[in-house]
Structure 1
Amino acid sequence: MADRDDLTRRSVLKASAAAAGLGLAGTASASEDGGLAGAEPIPCVDVTDARSDLEVVDAASVAPETSSGIGPGSFLLISRGGTTAGCTANFVWDDGDDVYLGAAGHCFLPGETAASKSAGGSFDATNQTVEVCIDCAFGGATGLNGITGGRLVELGEVVYARQSENGVGPGNDFGLVRIPEEARGLIDTSMPKFGGPAGTGTLEAGETACHYGNAVAFGETFLTKGRSGAGLGSTDDVWRAATASAPGDSGAAVQTCNPSVTGLQGAQAVGALTHLTTNGVAGTTMSRAEEMAAEADLDITPRLG
């Protein structure tokens, strides 16, 4: 996974520390570039050595009621060329015939490759193994001491992946992996901790944005995996927010959240978290994700929580 595969523990910690300094509330003023100057893809986490104790199971043997399910926030392990990278899934998508799990396109692609063959690019993204880790948690104070608990369920082939178009990453980063029929009983379309979404929409400036991801330093327990911040606005392709993120979050589902008696309640699906920017995070909108999937002749719609 190119430059994302050779992340050292030191570089991951530095990235996490930098992400921890992002604004957690409030809004930032708009800049001429829309706040996307210097945007960088959120790295996957190198978990090659951390996955050795995980149990690989047949999807049909895992009881849905005892698992955390396959859906928003799922911990994805993507193996290729002797390395395994950890990312976060976004929403469950349906085209009427097959069912897919969304992710960041850059989780499936080498750093120099814009898109998979299915998206008109050159890279064969099907030549890798994608697994969902059920009931997994990072271990240790920084999430780098191994993955504790959990069982691995193998997904199908990567049917679409793009991480940039005409050299632009934000708003052009999305991927899909097929959920095999035998694993569909594990699907849980609601976002852990926040619930929802009940529909799709945009993220307006000042709205509360929520996401649930597997970032080092943040995503180590159920309580810290879920985070919220303030929306910084959206275009047709890109949403932006001031919230905390770090390596491992890449691809995570983002939605608006409304106050409730129990905290924040998920409302509208916004899109996939893909980039760190100079004043927060950014990602691909729901409408843009559907538009991108059409490059592979996939007419997808999200399954709501």
Structure 2
Amino acid sequence: MSLRRLAAVTAAAVLAGAGVATGAGGAQAAPSWAPAKTAAIHPGTMMYTDGAQCTANFVYTDGAGNVYVGYAAHCAGTGESTDTDGCTTASLPLGTPVTFNERGSLVDEGTVVGRGTLVYSSWDTMQKRGETDPNTCAYNDIALVKVSAADKGKVNPSVPVWGGPTGIDTDGTKAGDRVWTYGNSSLRAGVSVLSPHTGISLGDQAGDGGWSHPLYTVTPGIPGDSGSGFLSAGGKAVGVLSTLGLAPLPASNNIGDLAKELAYAKAYSGISGLALANGTEPFEPVV
């Protein structure tokens, strides 16, 4: 649901796999994060790609100490709003510049607070690999933006309001499970009080191999929220928002399983030691 396709409220979702950074002694030292209260780049930050706005999900690192921010692969897509198959829809190339912004709106992209480069797209990777699994093509919707060296010191991996993530949820969701997210669409015109959402999972979608997790939130995701991350109980990162469902569950949010998406990225991105960065702030699911 990026603003590249304002009407992109079609059905599809995302998902991916997990990882743990390694280094000397079996564990790599965490980057020097900015304080959570003042970090300019974090989960929920607005991201602009060739004029299209999406929302950052989580922060990631690699074995070389690089820092990445994730959003939805379709945020760099160039197809129509109804083109949600990542194995056939064209995308902007790797190397495309991406900016991190604050206070963007429909009439203004706001202030650029950092810069990065698109270095991994599940859509681009699936097409280059010749991926044919229909569930993977439909729901593997994640991209990674490498934060510039000059802006790494502006990053904190904590989710605003909620805190966390505390790791990756590898069990999916069951009907009735509560979830938490932070959407940051420019349609909200910078009114941050509208960004934190809670919701209820509708359970795994039948027949998709665990790739998609439809759910309802108190206020549904809107164009520009695409890419935002969802937390499950205990603050575990469970998925990434891909689209707003029209049928059979109108106004539901469709997310994918982050464990599956990240596993795919670890296998085929060429990024050694790719891993989710846990938040520096404790998960506190209260407003």
What are the Cα deviations for residues 94-149 of structure 1, in whole angstroms up to 9, with x where unaligned? Answer: 22123211110111222269669xxx99856224220111xx224xxxx534345x
* CA distance 1:65–1:301, change in 2 (3 Å): closer
| Structure 1 CA distance for aligned equivalents of residues 190 and 174 of structure 2 | 29
Deviates more, 1:151-160 or 1:243-252: 151-160
Query: Could you tell me which residue of structure 2 aligns to residue 288 of structure 1?
Result: 260
Summarize the Cα distance change of 1:66–1:209 in structure 2 as closer, same or farther, 3 Å threshold: closer
For residues 190 and 6 of structure 1, what CA distance do their matches in structure 2 show? 28
Q: Deviations over 1:161-194 (max 9, x none)?
A: 3287645555311111112232221111110011
Hey, which of these two has a bigger chunk of strand by percent?
1
Higher relative contact order (CA 8 A, sep 6+): 2
Does 2:88 align with 1:129?
Answer: no
In structure 1, the residue matched to 2:115 is: 154
- What per-residue deviation string (whole Å, max 9, x for no partner) do you get for residues 187-216 of structure 1? 111100111122221332212111111225
Change (3 A) 1:245 1:238: same
1:27 match: none
Task: Kindly indicate whether residue 182 of structure 2 is the aligned counterpart of residue 212 of structure 1.
Answer: yes
Match of residue 42 from structure 2 = 71
Match of 2:214 in 1: 240
**Residues 6, 287 of structure 1: CA spacing in aligned structure 2 closer, same or farther, 3 A cutoff?**
closer
Aligned counterparts of 1:95 and 1:230: Cα–Cα separation in 2: 32
Cα distance in 1 between the residues matched to 2:35 and 2:225: 24
5+ residue gaps, structure 1, are 16-37, 43-62, 258-265
Deviation at 1:158, TM superposition (A): 2.6
Find the aligned partners of 1:174 and 1:65 in 2 and give their Cα distance. 24
Cα displacement string for residues 224-245 of structure 1 (whole angstroms, at most 9, x for unaligned residues): 0111110122353222211211
Structure 1 length as normaliser, TM-score? 0.66
Distance 1:271 1:113 in 2: 17
Change in CA separation of 1:127 and 1:121 when aligned onto 2, cut-off 3 Å: farther
1:174 is aligned to 142
Which secondary structure state, in structure 1, belongs to the residue aligned with residue 151 of structure 2?
Answer: helix
Give yes or no for contact 2:78–2:89 (8 Å, CA) kept in 1: no
The answer to whether 1:275 aligns with 2:251 is no
Q: Which residue of the partner structure matches residue 39 of structure 1?
A: 11
C-alpha separation between the residues in 1 aligned to 2:254 and 2:189? 18
Give the fraction of aligned pairs with identical amino acids, expressed as a percent.
26
Q: Is 1:86 matched up with 2:53? A: yes
Amino acid at match of 1:156: T
Change beyond 3 A, Cα 1:65–1:276:
closer
Superposition RMSD in Å: 3.3
Deviates more, 1:290-299 or 1:223-232: 290-299
Which structure 2 residue ranges, 5 or more long, are not aligned? 15-33, 280-287
The aligned counterpart of 2:63 is 96
Say how many residue pairs are matched: 234
Letter in structure 2 aligned against 1:304? N
The alignment's TM-score, normalised by the length of structure 2, stands at: 0.69
Farther-moved stretch of structure 1 (64-73 vs 247-256): 64-73
Distance in 1 separating the partners of 2:164 and 2:189: 20
* Kept after mapping to 2: 8 A contact 1:189/1:304: yes
CA distance in 2 between counterparts of 1:71 and 1:124 reads 23
